Homo-oligomer: A and B are copies of this chain.
Amino acid sequence: MTSGTEVEAPTQRSLRKADRRAAILDAAAALFAARGYAGVTLDELGAAVGVSGPAVYRHFPGKGAVLAAILVDASRALLDGAERVLAVDATPEAALRALIRFHVEFAVGDADVIAVQEREVTQLDPAARHEMRTLQRTYVEHWVGVLDRLRPDLAEEELRVRAHAAFGLMNSTPHSARTPGRRPAATTIRGILEEMTWASLMS
């Protein structure tokens, strides 16, 4: 240990390792979304990334940690995105439009992650659940803050209910994505969801 904060070796081994870790998280999100956290074995998860079984333990301390990483990463990504948006947009209208656009983009683009996040919270260990809840609460408060400037007539509790309702609307893609037959293109879906969300929040 030389001193202080290390950035260190961009060694070839560590790169492959980072790749594998990302691949595991990706595959896990898809598998968990399709068959549920409990319905996926570590052997299957390993097989999905081309290694088999307990190799996952070289990257995560256990199955629960994989789930935790997916959920916490997602919550942090959402929060970061929201704060980036809020740092830029001045007026409440522009801010809300940007928040909606960002959230819809995320939900449509990472439908698997959204599905897992909505379904498997109950399976999280207390520590990870707490971390995720904290991130989510802050995220909600950013929305409520913007809504409050737009709708000062409404109570904060009502605004919170409205924010959650908007999330439910925007997060609906995992459900409609499972319908058979012709589905509209992703861009079309984004447009619809953005429009509906705006209208619902402004009603």
Q: Give chain A's interface residues, CB within 8 Å of chain B.
A: 34-39, 118-120, 122-123, 140, 155, 157-158, 160-162, 164-172, 175-176, 179, 181-184, 188-189, 192-193, 195-203
Cα(A198)–Cα(B188), bound, Å: 21
List of B residues within 8 angstroms of A181 by Cβ: 157
- In the complex, how many angstroms separate the beta carbon of A26 from the nearest chain B beta carbon? 18
**How many chain copies does the complex carry?**
2
- In the complex, how many angstroms separate the beta carbon of A198 from the nearest chain B beta carbon? 7
Report whether A167 and B160 are in contact in the complex, using a CB–CB cutoff of 8 Å: no
Choose among B171, B193, B203 the residue that contacts A196 (Cβ–Cβ < 8 A): B203
List of B residues within 8 angstroms of A160 by Cβ: 176, 179
Report whether A122 and B35 are in contact in the complex, using a CB–CB cutoff of 8 Å: yes
Q: Can you name 25 A-B pairs with beta carbons within 8 Å?
A: A35-B122, A36-B38, A36-B120, A39-B123, A118-B175, A119-B119, A119-B120, A140-B179, A157-B181, A157-B182, A157-B184, A164-B172, A165-B170, A165-B176, A165-B192, A166-B169, A167-B172, A168-B168, A168-B169, A168-B171, A168-B172, A169-B169, A196-B200, A197-B200, A200-B200
Cα(A31)–Cα(B123), bound, Å: 13
Cα(A98)–Cα(B168), bound, Å: 21
State whether A175 and B164 are in contact (beta carbons under 8 Å apart), knowing that A122-B34, A184-B158, A200-B197 are contacts in the complex: yes
Please provide the 6 A-B residue pairs with the shortest distance between their CB atoms, ordered closest to farther: A199-B203, A168-B172, A38-B38, A164-B176, A36-B122, A200-B200
List of B residues within 8 angstroms of A201 by Cβ: 196
- In the complex, how many angstroms separate the beta carbon of A150 from the nearest chain B beta carbon? 14
Chain B: which residue is nearest A180 at the CB level?
Answer: B137
Choose among B155, B175, B196 the residue that contacts A162 (Cβ–Cβ < 8 A): B196
